[in-house]
Amino acid sequence: MPLPQNINPIDRDTRDLLVRTAQMDWKPIPADPERSFYKLLWTGSESGTWAILGRSFKGAVAPAHKHLGASHTYVISGKIQVRDQIINAGDYIYEANGMVHDETTFLEDTDYIFICQGPRRFFSLSATFCYALQEAPT
């Protein structure tokens, strides 16, 4: 039986995206290039949303920052301290647009999925804006 409406995509070039992460190299995250790495999974040019597979070793730190778009983190393995909370393997955390926090510390070697709906603003003397993989100000 035919459907009562047209369900074709608006954009005929729309396709599924399959990312074979096992075939990708880890790239250093500029804020802590010796201990934090990523594999870029997806970027949405129309929305500014981006997704990474992250790997950070024990002691790695993400500098203090403000989210200029909501973010979602799912911890595959390891442990992260975000503000006064410990995020363990199997945990998911949602951070709303505008969330501000001090350093995020990786308490164990950690693999995680991070999806962010915009840039983050890192706090420093220059207080510049950057997306996930740009150089964070020092």
Domains of the chain: 27-130 (2.60.120.10)
Task: Identify which has the larger pLDDT, 28 or 130.
Answer: 28
List strands edge to edge, sheet with 79-82.
61-62, 104-106, 79-82, 85-88
pLDDT at position 21 is: 94
Phi, psi of 89 (to 5 degrees): -55, 130
Question: Mind listing the pLDDT tens digit for each residue in 43-93?
Answer: 887 788 889 999 999 999 988 877 788 899 999 999 999 989 999 999 999
Residue 10 has pLDDT above 60, yes or no: yes
Mean pLDDT along residues 102-120? 90
- Overall average pLDDT of the 88-116 stretch: 92
pLDDT score at 63: 84
Q: Name the amino acid, one letter, at 64.
A: A
Q: For the purposes of burial, counting CB atoms within 10 Å of the CB of 40, is it exposed (0-12), middle (13-18) or buried (19 or more)? A: middle
22: phi then psi, degrees, rounded to nearest 5: -65, -20
